[in-house]
Structure 1
């Protein structure tokens, strides 16, 4: 199951980028949805870019021997990035004076769950030297949350498009 989720996650970035671009191309003005979609795409792209370098550090490479807490770099970086994404969602909505939509709330909840998994992963790594159960929960949990967010993006895009279509037909 872990391998299946990892394979699916490799396609998640495409969805995170394609959905907001599709919304722009089709001229959709979904407010909260569009803003949140672009923030998801930006943070997903940034995380994918950062991940390989961070993985080297997390495995103990490129870290001076006097800094033995290299798991802190892996887990701490993801917690900070997830928190920055939450702040970006809140600030972006405040900036455009838009209420938080369904996707924004779901994404922030997913980020909070990922932060919890990062903390549990860090504690497991430092104090219990990576137990198999927590490692599995961590990797399946992170991938499952990202896949769920991608599916929610697609689902909400379809729902908003259908609503907009019926609203347009009703006014004609």
Structure 2
């Protein structure tokens, strides 16, 4: 064992002179490919369509809120809180994919595939339920179809080799 105070040791020790303490050295990232940039844009588009679909769902079906408590003010407060919670949760889930994917993290790519697949299956199940129901929800079907197209496009772009090549 050496008595030099700044000599790196195998089990840790003080950093060498001029190095930031506790800094991890990471290999440089490859530049983002065009496919990865497209995937990021599709993530934002999917979020926008999800928010639009949620807003249309709340605004186009006011009869579903007729069972709320007798006070109209209380019912409005409950509706607004549920809207904000739903949109906040949606934004959080999309941020959980978008920002790490922008940093080229492979786990975000995998999480995005899981979320896009789940969203696609949910959209298809909702379409079947809407078509089987006795009510007219053509606007909901339109936003659902748009969401399905964006999710399929996300999955197709995510499967391209250019995306996988830049992820670490």
Q: TM-score range by the shorter chain?
A: 0.3 to 0.5
Structure with higher Rg: it is 2
Structure with larger RCO (C-alpha < 8 A, sep 6+): 2
Normalised TM-score (structure 1): 0.39
- The structure with the greater share of residues assigned to helix is 1
For normalisation by structure 2, the TM-score amounts to 0.40
